[in-house]
Amino acid sequence: MQEKEEKRRRKVKKGWLTVTVGTEVEAGGFRRFVIPVSYLYHPLFTGLLDSARDTYGFRSSGPLALPCSVDDFLHLRWLIERERQPSVSALSG
């Protein structure tokens, strides 16, 4: 029963992917996030992908590992989401 629930939690919807963020020295350690695949094409995110390649190489047996702090990742995600939202001035014009 527990194994079945674990598999269900790991399933990710089409168009999304799982990333692991954080460092071993951070208080919370690594955290798992599910992000839209479209992030992979964002210029801010491609820099992080380059860092992941340089740090971990191309092979991975699990979620994509990103070499940054959780706080840095949350800020990056906020910046990307902010760009995706229509501005208030654009809506009122």
Domain chopping of the chain, boundaries = 17-83
What's the CA gap between 60 and 92, in Å, rounded? Answer: 46
pLDDT one-digit tens code per residue, 48-66: 999 999 988 877 778 899 9
pLDDT one-digit tens code per residue, 59-87: 777 889 999 999 999 999 999 999 988 76
Predicted pLDDT of residue 2? 53
Residue of 88 and 4 predicted with greater confidence? 88
Q: Nearest Cα to 23, choosing from 57, 63, 73, 61?
A: 73
What's the CA gap between 42 and 57, in Å, rounded? Answer: 20
Predicted pLDDT of residue 13? 92
